[in-house]
A and B are shown apart, each in its own frame.
Chain A
C-alpha cells in the first residue's frame, strides 16, 4: 500500500487558518486522497477526499499538488471543536464495479487549537 507521511502534531490559534500537510510520494494513479479526523472517544469522521483537482466542502478544502505527491488539508477558520487527530489516507479503486480496499491509517497529525 502507498504510504503517507504527516507531522506528529501541529498547533494553531482559534479563528486562524490551519494547513495540515501530507506527503504521499508513492501514490498511484488510482489512489484517492482521503482525510478523516478523530475526536477523543469517537469514531473517525470523514472530512474530504479528492483525486486530482482541489476540492472544497463545508468543513475544509483539499489542495492537491500537481504531481499528486503531496496534499494539504485547509481548515479556513479553526475552532476549538477542530482539535482532533487528522489522518491523511490513500484509498485505491480496486474493482471496476466501484469497490475499494480498506483504509490504511497512519499515526495522523494531532491538531491542537489554542484559544
Chain B
C-alpha cells in the first residue's frame, strides 16, 4: 500500500513569490491535514480537509491556504513568501478524521531566499 506522497520534495523560492505544494493521501483516506515544521517553532498545525471542505484551521495568516479535490488529493498554497516561511511542510492523511492514527508524508522542504 503506497504511503502519503508529497511533491515536490525540495524547492527554492524568493521573497514575494508564491508556492503550491501537493499531497496524495493513502488510498481510501479522506482526511488530509498540513503541518509546518521549523527549528524554532517545531511542528505546527496549518489546516485539515475532509471531503473537500476545510474543517479545522490553525493560527496562520491568510497567505496560507489549501484545498482538497474529489479524489482526496490536497494542495496548499503560500502567497507572498517571506523568509520565515522556510520550513518543512508535512502532509498527513487519515481514514476519516477521527482521533486515530495519522500517516505523515516525508514533507516538502521549502527554502525562501
Binding partners A and B: yes
Interface residues in chain A, defined as those with a beta carbon under 8 Å from any beta carbon in chain B = 32, 34, 36, 41-46, 49, 87, 91-95, 98-108
Q: Are A43 and B107 in contact (CB under 8 A)?
A: yes
From residue B52, how far is it (CB to closest CB) to chain A in Å?
Answer: 14
Residues of B within 8 A of A (CB): 4, 31, 33, 35, 42-48, 50, 55-56, 58, 90, 92, 96-107
Docked-complex contact A46 and B99, CB < 8 angstroms: no
Q: Which secondary structure characterizes the binding site on chain A?
A: loop
4 A-B pairs with least C-beta separation: A102-B45, A43-B104, A105-B43, A98-B98
Offer 26 A-B interface pairs, CB within 8 angstroms, sorted by A.
Answer: A32-B99, A34-B99, A36-B102, A43-B90, A43-B104, A44-B102, A44-B104, A46-B101, A46-B102, A49-B100, A91-B99, A93-B98, A95-B55, A99-B31, A99-B50, A99-B56, A99-B98, A100-B97, A100-B98, A101-B48, A102-B33, A102-B45, A102-B56, A102-B58, A103-B43, A103-B45
